[in-house]
Every structure is written in structure tokens, then in C-alpha cells.
Amino acid sequence: MREGVNRKLVEKFLVRVESLLTLMERHSLAELIELYRSPRRMIVLSFTSGVARGFGVAVGFTLIGAVFLYVLGRLAMLNLPIIGEFVADIARIVQGELSP
């Protein structure tokens, strides 16, 4: 009786270990461990990913800002009272900062 229980536990354990190995292979855990073993490569990858993210943020912010300013300019052309005053205030602030 005891031997049958032990056998079932061992079989469950083996099935669990096999599923864990499959999961590890699927998620490339060996490559991640290898990456942690070479700190120089990890630093280079982290640096390049940081530069790429920074560049992406800068380009994205520039594009969104340009679209916002374009829409704001179009709304100012419609001579809407509230938006026109807002744009005029912004223009005055910018002119005040640019003049010596």
C-alpha cells in the first residue's frame, strides 16, 4: 500500500517537473540566465534599450505636440471667443519671453 502511494507521488512529481521544464524552455529561461552571467552584455543591452526608449519618447512627444499645436492653430482661425483668447495669451507669453 505504501509503495503505491509513493509511486503515485513520484509520478505526480515527474509530471510537474516535465511541465515546469516545458515552461522554462518556452520562456527561454536558459538565455536569461546566460544574460545574467555576462554583465557587460547586459549593460550594453540595457543601455541600447534605454536610448531607444528615450528616442521614442522624444519623437512621440514631438509628434503629439505638433498635432496639438496644429489643432490649436486651426481652432484659433475659427475665431472662437474662449479659444481665441487662450491662443492670444499664449502668443503674448511667447512674445514676452522672446523679446530682450
Residue 68 cell numbers, joined: 496639438
pLDDT digits (tens, 9 = 90+) for 4-35: 778 888 888 899 999 888 887 777 777 777 87
In the chain, the percentage of residues whose pLDDT exceeds 70 is 97
pLDDT of residue 49: 95
Asked whether the beta carbons of 42 and 36 are under 8 A apart, the reply is yes
Asked whether the beta carbons of 75 and 83 are under 8 A apart, the reply is yes
pTM score over 0.75: no
Q: Assess if residue 45 is contained within a domain.
A: no
73 vs 49, more confident:
49
Q: Assess if residue 3 is contained within a domain.
A: yes
pLDDT of residue 25: 77
Task: Please indicate, yes or no, whether residues 60 and 29 belong to a single structural domain of this protein.
Answer: no
The whole domain housing 95 covers 52-100
Looking at residue 27, what DSSP letter applies? T
